Amino acid sequence: MDQDLSLLSTFNVDAGGMFLLMVTICAFLIPVVVILPPVGLQKSDALVQTHTKAGVEGARSNLKKQFSAEHGPVAGEPAKVRSLVIYPVKSCKGIELTRSKVFPTGLQFDRLFTFAQLKSPFPVAVDSTDEEKSKHKWEFITQRQFARLANVTVDLWLPDEMKLRKQSMKSTEAFLILRFPWKEDGWRGIWSTITAKLNRGRAAEPEVEILLPVDFPSEAEIKENGFTFEDVKIWKDTINALNMEKELPKELQRYLGVSNKLGLFRLDPASLREVYRCAPTKEDAGYQPVTGFQDAYPLHLVNLSSVQQFSSEVPKDENLKELDVIRFRPNIIGESQLTTSGYHPVSGAPVYDEETWKQVRFKPGNSGLYNDAVFHVSCRTVRCKMPNVDPATGFRHPSEPDKSLRGKRAVDEGAPLNGCLGMQLTPLFDASLGEDREAWIAVGMTLEVEERGEHVYIKQ
Any long-range contacts for 169-173 (C-beta under 8 Å, 24+ apart)? 169/50, 171/50, 173/213, 173/214, 173/215
Output the pLDDT for position 323: 95
Q: What is the 3-state secondary structure (H, E, C) of 237-282?
A: EEEEEEECHHHCCHHHHHHHCCCCCEEEEECCCCCCEECCCCCCCH
From 71-80, 101-110, 123-132, 223-232, the region with the lowest mean pLDDT: 123-132
Query: What CA–CA distance (Å, rounded) separates 374 from 302?
Result: 16
Please give the DSSP secondary-structure letter assigned to residue 397.
Answer: P
Tens digit of pLDDT for each residue in 346-377?
333 468 999 999 999 999 999 999 999 999 99
Query: What CA–CA distance (Å, rounded) separates 41 from 84?
Result: 32
More confident residue, 29 or 322: 322
- 228-234 and 137-140 strand pairing: parallel
Question: Per-residue pLDDT averaged across 390-404, rounded?
Answer: 97
- Note the CATH architecture for domain 58-110+270-460: Beta Barrel (2.40)
Output the pLDDT for position 432: 79
From 19-33, 251-265, 320-334, 435-449, the region with the lowest mean pLDDT: 19-33
Residue 337 has pLDDT above 80, yes or no: no
Residue 115 · residue 266 · CB < 8 Å:
no
Highest mean pLDDT among 336-345, 366-375, 426-435 belongs to 366-375
Identify each DSSP E strand in 24-119 by its residue range: 51-53, 79-86, 95-97, 99-103, 106-107, 113-119
Query: What CA–CA distance (Å, rounded) separates 315 from 235?
Result: 30
pLDDT confidence bin for 229, thresholds 50/70/90:
very high
Output the pLDDT for position 16: 58
Residue 371 · residue 437 · CB < 8 Å:
no
Output the pLDDT for position 443: 96
pLDDT confidence bin for 341, thresholds 50/70/90:
very low
**Domain(s) of CATH 2.40.33.20: residues in the chain:** 58-110+270-460
Residue 383 has pLDDT above 60, yes or no: yes
